[in-house]
Amino acid sequence: MTPGALLRLASFVVLALLVAGFVAFSAHVASLRPEQAARGDAIIVLTVGEGRLTAASELLERRAGSRMLISGVHPDVTPDELRAAMGASAPLFDCCVDLGREAADTVGNARETAAWVDEHGFD
């Protein structure tokens, strides 16, 4: 076998091993599942963003928190509209979801959240 042929063969073997390793790694990563979220005292949604309400509703349904604050809710949005957007049941929404309507920006979200946390005695 010539030195050039040996080099090509060695290069092919190394490349094949790299590809096989990448495929094995990809299969392993695809099979991983996230751990269940730890339970917290509360769930806070800062302003309404795409997917945030649904994700927060799922957390509340799984009892990842006992209450939820949605901060920065526009004054024209009704509780029924928010409940429908969340996909939450009426009993769960009525018992456990509070709407903050004062925040208009990030600082307002922080103030509204701090007041809500104090009001409900969360540490």
Strand 97-99 to strand 42-46: parallel, antiparallel, or no bridges (unpaired)?
unpaired
Question: Would the pLDDT of 22 be above 80?
Answer: yes
- Triad 94, 78, 65: Cα angle to 5°: 35
Kindly report the pTM of this predicted structure: 0.67
23-81 pLDDT, tens digit per residue, is 999 999 988 887 765 678 899 998 767 788 889 999 999 888 999 999 999 999 999 99
Q: Domain coordinates of the chain in residue numbers?
A: 1-33, 42-120
Q: CA-CA distance, 49 to 28, in Å (whole number)?
A: 32
Q: CA-CA distance, 18 to 8, in Å (whole number)?
A: 15
Q: Tokens 């509780």 sit at which residue?
A: 79
Count of beta carbons in the 10 Å neighbourhood of residue 60: 23
